[in-house]
Amino acid sequence: MTEVDRPARAGRWTRLVTARPRLSLLVALLITALAVVAGSDVAGRLGSGGWEDPNADSTYATKALQREFPDSQPNLLLLVDAGDASVDDPAVAAEAKRLAERLDAEKGVTGVGSYWRTHAPALRAEDGREALIAARLTGDETAMNATLDRIAPLLRGTHGPVEVRVGGGLAVRHEMETIIQEDLLRAEIIALPVTLVLLVMAFGSAVAALLPLLVGVVAILGTNAILRGLTELTDVSIFALNLTTALGLGLAIDYALFIVRRFREELATGADPLAAVSTTLRTAGRTVLFSALTVAVSLAAMMVFPQYFLKSFAYAGIAVVLLAAAAALIVLPAALVLLGDRVNALDLRKLFKRRGAEAALTSPAKKEGAAWDRAATLVMRRAPVFAIATTAFLILLGLPFFGVKFGTADDRQLPSSAESRVVQEHIRDDFPGTPGGGLEILTEGTATQTQYAAYRDRIAALPDVLRVDGPVTNGDAAYFAVQPKGDAVDEAAQTLVHGIRATDAPFRTSVTGTGAVLVDTKAAIADGLPWALTFIAVVTLVLVFLLTGSVLIPFQAVLLNALSLTAMFGAMVWVFQDGHLSGLLGFTSSGTVETTLPVLMFCVAFGLSMDYGVFLLSRIKEEYDYTGDHTGAVRFGLRRTGGLITAAAVILAVVMIAIGTSRVTNTKMLGLGLALAVLMDAMIVRGLLVPAVMRITGRATWWAPAPLRRFHERFGLSEGESAPRRASAPAAGTVSSDASEEEKEITVDRVEVSG
């Protein structure tokens, strides 16, 4: 694409989105209203599972057991508490049997069993005062939740001599869904007003501050409608709603900040609104589009994993990123054309400034960028020191991650007062073995009782096996229940899974249960991770090359972005796995990190890091193309975007921290971890490490072999139109890195006017 072609294309796009601004806004309003209707019941259609690999041995065994032996895998547990009496007391036993019969009569319930029917030791507490009634609710997740909502109020509470609490895997998941929905609403109530205040502080104008929220609302509501449509085709996790809210607000604010800031700068030079929008779309608009692509690429990498939990975040993330970019590039320009100079209306900063200071507001970038210019000068003057110290600091923060232990989400994700968690804690602490958390072995193929008995004996002889029950047969299929001695997902239980799978048998065997699911999930993550990382790295390298035309900068971007995530990964282990600050943050550490969560947080945080990286690199590249002064270009880029990136990061961190107030531990870790990542990236990596590294690499930063240079000239993308490079001496718009501050101010103005 030639330089002549680029303005022409930008002009056509400007005419397209601004020709009829009122009509554009009306269409956007109608589409948003339809999205509200389409996505209104999205939360009720989402699932709370999705951590397991659908192609794994454990998943096959689970489905086969549900089909052949529906009674083998209860998902509902009733904890019957006899108080000071024994569960074998006649009155207690009679009431418990009546409850079991009542449960058995309910529609959608099968496989009801209890201690009072089987007298299995695993169903009776060691102190003899509590025992379990187990059942399986049938149907899909929506049907099971509806059944649970119907029967739980009838079962919980006091019944004669016993007190009943409702637990089990289904109850844990359902309570988690409910709490997440409540917490998400609270997070939105917290984040929106705080975000508005921060935007007013960033823009001064209340009118300008409302525009990013407009973009965010359009992106969030549109994504909810898309997720609702996807539930008709595939499973989608309820956790994806958290990402929709966080990224919808965060990226909308990023993009709108960038667009509105550039528009106001163009107005300050005397441009009319239409010309200001045209320049803004040709410059900042390109960067927003490019940034959205880089974020979407990082999120799309989660599609390589088989778990629908991770795929859901890819669906939600890609949708909200593209919708935020679309709203920023279509809806926002139409609004800006209509507003014109009124975008600066209701400038609240005038309430706190003397009249003599009001003139400074006409060119806010100069005043606000001075501190960043001084910081960049200091960093580049001592570049090796800053590069080494910053890198060492970030690596130090990430060291705890080397002690990570992967596990699976369980009831300890819930607040301590949650009923289903109370039930599971009683079972974990007071019952022998791991009721409801053992392993099941499915066998398929013709076998004799002697062969079954010999196989059972071999399993029972494995280390850490408490008991083996079975076989229960159904034609050529049978199953064994294995109770581990320790916790269902500890290292011993995972070793036991491998031992069972390695045990010889005269029939086909498949193993499921909590420990087996964890083993298979870890294997699926390990298989997909190299592909995901390769995809992110390769596409990021290509996209950053198209932006900069440099061979070195793409590799710098990937490495520095990854380095910016070390604090997040270190905190993930030090805080959430090891339990430091658990009292302050209000969660219970399970001693592990949920297996899929680091992958999710890496993809999201890497994408956000690239978002800020693109903003900075685009302005550096624009200035370097204009002047050929490498050091001056780095200072210019940091001066123009340092405050913008920091403001965007702080606002996004506020949204993430609001998400992090959730009572569900994984959601808390997601929100607080991402908040830490974006702040470290904006303040440490962009403010210190990037200028230090670019100063060290010098003009070699921009080197590329001739064939790649020609490729970039034809297909590359950058903010602004490339102007003839003015590497030597004083020409209009040119200034050396050693020029005075006043000369630099004049040059900045010339660059901005030239656009």
- pLDDT category at 256 given cuts 50, 70, 90 is confident
Shared fold status for 75-167 and 416-520? yes
Give the pLDDT confidence score for residue 388 in this predicted structure: 95
Question: In the chain, where are the structural domains located?
Answer: 5-45+175-354+367-404+521-724, 75-167, 416-520
- The runs of H, that is alpha helices, within 231-285 are 240-268, 273-280
- pLDDT category at 350 given cuts 50, 70, 90 is low
Most confident of 246-260, 277-291, 597-611: 597-611
Q: Residue 475 phi/psi, 5° resolution?
A: 65, -125
Residue 352 has pLDDT above 60, yes or no: no
What distance in Å separates the CA atoms of residue 609 and residue 632, rounded to the nearest whole number? 23
Most confident of 273-282, 327-336, 389-398, 721-730: 389-398
Residue 523 has pLDDT above 60, yes or no: yes
- pLDDT category at 752 given cuts 50, 70, 90 is very low
* Of 12 and 153, more confident: 153
Hey, how many other C-beta atoms are within 10 angstroms of the C-beta on 192?
16
Residue 528 has pLDDT above 60, yes or no: yes
Give the pLDDT confidence score for residue 5 in this predicted structure: 47
Hey, how many other C-beta atoms are within 10 angstroms of the C-beta on 134?
25
Is residue 309 within 8 Å of 369, Cβ to Cβ? no
Give the pLDDT confidence score for residue 732 in this predicted structure: 34
H or E stretch at 473: strand 465-474
Give the pLDDT confidence score for residue 509 in this predicted structure: 94
- pLDDT category at 434 given cuts 50, 70, 90 is low
H or E stretch at 515: helix 514-548
Interacting residues of 344 by C-beta distance below 8 A, sequence separation 6+: 204, 205, 207, 208, 264, 267
Residue 65, CA atoms < 13 Å, CB-side half-sphere:
28
Give the pLDDT confidence score for residue 390 in this predicted structure: 95
Give the pLDDT confidence score for residue 565 in this predicted structure: 93
Q: What is the mean pLDDT of residues 192-204?
A: 82
Residue 143 has pLDDT above 90, yes or no: no
Region of poorest pLDDT, from 462-471, 575-584, 677-686, 694-703: 462-471
Give the pLDDT confidence score for residue 745 in this predicted structure: 42
Tell me the whole-structure pTM to 2 decimals. Answer: 0.84
Structure tokens that stand for 26 in this block:
């009306």
Q: What is the mean pLDDT of residues 130-135?
A: 93
444-to-65, 67, 262, 510 alpha-carbon distances in Å: 11, 13, 67, 9
Q: Which CATH number fits domain 416-520: 2.40.30.10, 3.10.20.600, 3.30.70.100, 3.40.50.300?
A: 3.30.70.100
Region of poorest pLDDT, from 189-193, 476-480, 525-529, 539-543: 189-193
Most confident of 36-50, 231-245, 613-627, 686-700: 686-700
Local structure of 265: helix, strand or coil = helix
- Whole-number average pLDDT of the chain: 84
Percentage of the chain modeled with pLDDT above 70: 89
35 burial via Cβ count (<10 Å: 0-12, 13-18, 19+): buried
- pLDDT category at 309 given cuts 50, 70, 90 is confident
Residue 718 has pLDDT above 60, yes or no: no
Is residue 570 within 8 Å of 401, Cβ to Cβ? yes
Amino acid at 47: G
Give the pLDDT confidence score for residue 753 in this predicted structure: 34
- pLDDT category at 44 given cuts 50, 70, 90 is confident
Is residue 443 within 8 Å of 471, Cβ to Cβ? yes
Amino acid at 274: L
- pLDDT category at 184 given cuts 50, 70, 90 is confident
Residue 493 has pLDDT above 90, yes or no: no
CB burial readout 293-312, b (16+ within 10 A) else e: bbbbbbbbbbbbbbbbbbbb
Residue 9 has pLDDT above 80, yes or no: no
Q: What is the 3-state secondary structure (H, E, C) of 339-407?
A: HHHHHHCCEHHHHHCCHHHHHHHHCHHHHHHHHHHHHHHHHHHCHHHHHHHHHHHHHHHHHHHHHCCEE
Spatial CA neighbour of 211 closest among 369, 86, 332, 126: 332
Q: What is the mean pLDDT of residues 91-103?
A: 94
117 burial via Cβ count (<10 Å: 0-12, 13-18, 19+): middle
Q: How many residues does the chain have?
A: 755
What distance in Å separates the CA atoms of residue 268 and residue 320, rounded to the nearest whole number? 32
Residue 167 has pLDDT above 80, yes or no: yes
- pLDDT category at 433 given cuts 50, 70, 90 is low
Strands (E), 82-194: 109-114, 130-137, 157-159, 162-167
Residue 268 has pLDDT above 90, yes or no: no
Full strand arrangement of the beta sheet holding 162-167: 109-114, 130-137, 76-81, 162-167, 157-159
Q: What is the mean pLDDT of residues 597-617?
A: 89
Q: Residue 678 phi/psi, 5° resolution?
A: -70, -35
- pLDDT category at 275 given cuts 50, 70, 90 is confident
Residue 755 has pLDDT above 50, yes or no: no
Is residue 677 within 8 Å of 605, Cβ to Cβ? yes
DSSP, res 444: E
- pLDDT category at 187 given cuts 50, 70, 90 is confident
- pLDDT category at 545 given cuts 50, 70, 90 is very high
Percentage of the chain modeled with pLDDT above 90: 39
Q: What is the mean pLDDT of residues 374-402?
A: 94
Is residue 61 within 8 Å of 321, Cβ to Cβ? no
Q: Residue 730 phi/psi, 5° resolution?
A: -55, 100
Give the pLDDT confidence score for residue 364 in this predicted structure: 44
Amino acid at 731: A
Is residue 606 within 8 Å of 298, Cβ to Cβ? yes
Give the pLDDT confidence score for residue 242 in this predicted structure: 77
| Beta pairing class for 593-594 and 406-407 | parallel
Give the pLDDT confidence score for residue 11 in this predicted structure: 58
Q: What is the mean pLDDT of residues 163-184?
A: 90
DSSP, res 2: -
Q: What is the mean pLDDT of residues 649-669?
A: 91
Asked if the 75-167 domain carries CATH number 3.30.70.1440, the reply is yes
| Residue pLDDT, tens place only, 98-114 | 999 999 999 999 889 89
Region of poorest pLDDT, from 45-59, 343-357, 422-436, 517-531: 343-357
- pLDDT category at 520 given cuts 50, 70, 90 is very high
Region of poorest pLDDT, from 9-13, 150-154, 327-331, 513-517: 9-13
Instruction: Give ∠ CA 383-387-393 in degrees, rounded to 5.
Output: 145
Top-level CATH class of 5-45+175-354+367-404+521-724?
A: mainly alpha
DSSP string, 653-719: HHHHHHHHT-SSHHHHHHHHHHHHHHHHIIIIIIIIIHHHHHHHHGGGGG---HHHHHHHHHH---S
Spatial CA neighbour of 276 closest among 326, 336, 205: 336
